[in-house]
A and B are shown apart, each in its own frame.
Chain A
Amino acid sequence: MKKIEAIIQPFKLEDVKEALKHAGVDGMTITEVRGHGRQKGHKEVYRGQEYNVDLLPKIKVEIVVPDGRLEETVKTLADAARTGKLGDGKIFVTAVEEAIRIRNSDRGEGAL
């Protein structure tokens, strides 16, 4: 099993959700996060006080998939989240040791 962690633009969330649903991904976890990569922030001025806001709002999507579905899911996600500009985000993939469904204690890929 692999965990896909994608940091995406907030306004791309609906596209990504839709695309993943079509690709047969059943579950995901969404978190509102702030961060930055190479994208520059912006400047805000309140009565002369300048603030450089470099941590921008992003959405983190977490999905765990069976090994065999990894490439397809990553491609679907990246295609849906892409605008081609700085700030589109990143995808990280890590190995997952175990998955357990709390309701009935199913384990492994069957629990996904």
Chain B
Amino acid sequence: MRLLVLALAVCLITFLMSAPAMAQAAGAPDSGAEKIAKLESALASAQSAGDNAWMLVSAALVLMMTGPGLALFYGGLVRTKNVLATMMQSFFLMALITVLWAIAGYSLAFSEGTPFLGGAKYLFLRGVGVEPNADYAATIPHQTFMMFQLMFAIITPALITGAFAERIKFSALVLFMCLWVLIVYIPLAHMVWGKGGFLNAYLGGRVACFDFAGGTVVHVSSGVSALVCALYLGKRHGYAHEPMKPHSVVLSVIGACLLWVGWFGFNAGSALAASGLATSAFVNTHFAAAAGALGWSAGEWFRNGKPSVLGAVSGAVAGLVAITPGSGFVKPMPALLIGLLAGLVCFYMVVVIKGKMGYDDSLDAFGVHGAGGTLGALLTGVFATNAINNALKRPDGHAVALGLADGHPGQILNQFWGVLIAWVLAGVGTWIILKVVDLILGVRVSREEEIEGLDLTQHGEEAYNYEG
């Protein structure tokens, strides 16, 4: 990609410069220094064009993961009477979080502040224009970076909706999500990715916890919050007595496939450039998804005698979750291993542990994102290597040893701190927010409303009007 851009740039420059050069031949010719300066600026703008093109596509891909990806994945798993409400929970966040992000969210996450929360510099997106912000990404417009990050802030709360599907009051969901993004997501995003963030190894943080694309920020935080939500809200009426079969595994398969494709933007886009590192992340993402699907299927085949379609696609998602933090740090073979382990572990969490513990994490947001995210974050400490990512340099210019693979076992502990902070912040924060929302609005619909279904009681619509 880079080579192609370079070649194109050189052609372009030759073409552009030939005409003026001839015109100037009679007058004062350009000095050598001027020519070089022009060449450099043309090269930079060519690289910027390539990077920006990839990052705009990546941002769009990540939005596609929420709608329609997650909306379909979750929508297919609920009963017919709740499918619209479930899709709305994803779709509405696309609108709600966007407005929050524009007004204050981006500033609180990504402007400089304390190690735990950003400042007010970018409130109302003041000063966030097309000029790059070199702290984060020197070759793309600051607004592109802002939009890319926005898409992460949208999908993360949407993932939680799997835990309280089929029983949350819509008004409570809206308030909960506003508070959750402000109190849990934004501080965590600042700590891991923001300039001066506590866990940001690249921009002056205290603890070097590697999280390439959101293993802790996105998956541990949403997964743990999902567990707290499932415990707080309690089981659906009739759970384990009445049949609660997914109303359409077909929708879920389509949704999972869209998630898989969107994840290329999520992980490879996190390179913030159309670079070799983006390709590494792209390869790892795909490999982990494939191995995850095989891992879950193998577990199910062995245990139940049949590999289910829902199991295969759930395994792919588990693999994608687990590779997220390490996608820009590990080699392809470890990516296969991480995906395979995630498929097996998440299968075990969802099928065995959840049954024993008895909580109703309706669509397994914790079993997949909490468990897979934690596993992936820790394994990043094992397999991260500067052969893939050499952006961290020692003062003498050599690349820093990253994970155990580079002979730095201490990294696993660093990863553990990151995971612990994410667990505690998500766990405690979510519980407090639920308490507050419960006091103000009540989080759960009435028993009658739950039996009638959220589509009718919360939105006044039905999903499938075949007679209409």
Contact = CB atoms under 8 A, between A and B. Distances in A.
B243 A51 contact: yes
B3 interface: no
B355 interface: yes
Given A45-B304, A45-B308, A51 B351 contact: no
B45 to A, nearest CB: 50
B354 A48 contact: yes
Interface string A18-53: 000000000000000000000000001111110100
Nearest to A47: B350
B206 interface: no
B354 A46 contact: no
Contacts of B245: 44, 46, 51
A48 B243 contact: no
Interface in B230-246: 243-246
Contacts, number: 24
B314 interface: yes
Interface in A65-98: none
Interface string B300-312: 1000101010110
Contacts of B244: 49
Interface in B68-127: none
Interface in B328-373: 350-352, 354-355, 364
Nearest to B249: A46
B246 A48 contact: no
A47 B364 contact: yes
Contacts of B314: 47
Nearest to A44: B245
Interface in A46-64: 46-49, 51
Contact of B355 (A46, A48, A51): A48
Contacts of B351: 47-48
A48 B310 contact: no
Across chains A and B, which 9 residue pairs bring their CB atoms closest together, nearest first? Answer: A48-B351, A51-B243, A47-B350, A45-B304, A46-B246, A46-B310, A48-B355, A51-B245, A46-B245
24 contacts: A44-B245, A45-B300, A45-B304, A45-B306, A45-B308, A46-B245, A46-B246, A46-B249, A46-B308, A46-B310, A47-B310, A47-B311, A47-B314, A47-B350, A47-B351, A47-B364, A48-B350, A48-B351, A48-B352, A48-B354, A48-B355, A49-B244, A51-B243, A51-B245
